[in-house]
Amino acid sequence: MASTTTILILLLLAAATVASASDLPVYHNVHPPSPSPLESILSLARADDARLLFLSSKASSSSSPGAVTSAPVASGQAPPSYVVRAGLGTPVQQALLALDTSADATWAHCAPCDTCPTGSRFIPASSSSYASLPCASEWCPLFQGQPCPSNLGTNEAMPACAFSKPFADASFQASLGTDTLRLGRDAIPNYAFGCVGAVTGPTTNLPKQGLLGLGRGPMSLLSQTGSRYNGVFSYCLPSYKSYYFSGSLRLGAAGQPRNVRYTPLLSNPHRPSLYYVNVTGLSVGRAWVKVPAGSFGFDTTTGAGTVIDSGTVITRWTAPVYAALREEFRRQVAAPSGYTSLGAFDTCFNTDEVAAGGAPAVTLHMDGGVDLTLPMENTLIHSSATPLACLAMAEAPQNVNSVVNVVANLQQQNVRVVVDVAASRVGFAREPCN
């Protein structure tokens, strides 16, 4: 039987022949880990701690018209949790790249690689447009590549730019190269990316074919494409609960929705890839959550603030914020038998004891008058086996930088998130992606 990844690629190829370039449909990557949405989310969220450590430890990196392009997005099993259909090389080789708004570098597993995850690999030798970049390339220090040997002779061949990168609980070694990257109908020549040739450690939480960096740094898609997309992209993430769904990554200002409410985008020089926004408060139902003063403060030195991230599964709040949110949520739900814990969730209750519609909505308030009221499916996760539901948020783990709030992909599902780096803003609009 064909693998689920192979099936997804065939479905995407078929869809591309009938859809317009402005909006390409996508389909589920693999079956959920469990038939129960609750168990499925808990399984996917097990790698969140490593993801949060990555977000909190971002070091400062080196600095250095209008047509709409839409590429398909599908839910994946390993963080980052969504993949986008892309092409590399000439002739084109298809790849499902993990969509990551908090990473800059794009990379792909390349052949040969005996330690890479099982699955399709990009074959540089089969691409007439692939070029290896040497250690003296201006791109090499941006990817934190190894410098050229100091004793390199005049007639000696210059070695390729090689770099290592940690990812989740593994690390990989890659060489830097350029090739044509294809997204939707767009062909982006001479795109710099890492060609992974070896992986150290478990590959369970490593993207199976590669990653597309959508951060703000100089190696990211936005930086490498310049005026093609003018620093604008948006994405709409489909729900984990639906096997068949549509979602999209839309590149460029054209075709973005008009009903978007924008909040300012904040910059942190110590974590320049991340998309920070200023959350001013939370409300549960009609009640504002009473948090200690300064709980949402933005601090470039400590990294404090709120990050919009496509790769984390469950939204995490700092300890004082989450404690206040949980208290107000429990007060309004008033579950007679109290609350239990399950995995990362500590506010689970018996739904048979709570009136239908008894769970209140959670709203994120941001600068610019943006009030993002989460759909109920983004707030509560239900078990299909028992009358149990859990508040789908948690406290930031204590083993990472616990001053960072992360609005994760579970809370972004069925919401169009528009990132406009040129105008320093992030927008939100409700959109059905299922």
Say what the pLDDT of residue 244 is: 58
* Of 48, 49, 104, 309, catalytic: 309
Q: The pTM is what? A: 0.86
Which amino acid would we find at residue 248?
Answer: S
Say what the pLDDT of residue 36 is: 60
pLDDT tens, position by position, 237-270: 888 776 556 688 999 998 899 999 999 999 998 8
Comparing 28-42, 242-256, 293-307, 324-338, the range with the smallest average pLDDT is 28-42
* Of 100, 179, 186, 420, catalytic: 100
Strand order in the sheet with 370-373: 287-288, 279-284, 362-366, 370-373
Q: Residue 115: is it exposed, middle or buried by C-beta count within 10 angstroms (0-12/13-18/19+)? A: middle
Which residue in this structure is represented by tokens 């549960």? 284
100: annotated active-site residue: yes
pLDDT tens, position by position, 119-139: 889 999 999 999 999 999 999
Domains by residue range for the chain, with CATH: 64-146+160-256 (2.40.70.10), 257-433 (2.40.70.10)
Ramachandran angles phi, psi of 67, nearest 5°:
-70, 140
Comparing 98-102, 162-166, 370-374, the range with the smallest average pLDDT is 98-102
CB 234 within 8 A of CB 253: no
What mean pLDDT, rounded, does the chain reach? 83
Q: Residue 169: is it exposed, middle or buried by C-beta count within 10 angstroms (0-12/13-18/19+)? A: middle
Res. 13 pLDDT band, cuts 50 70 90: very low
pLDDT tens, position by position, 173-190: 999 999 999 998 899 999
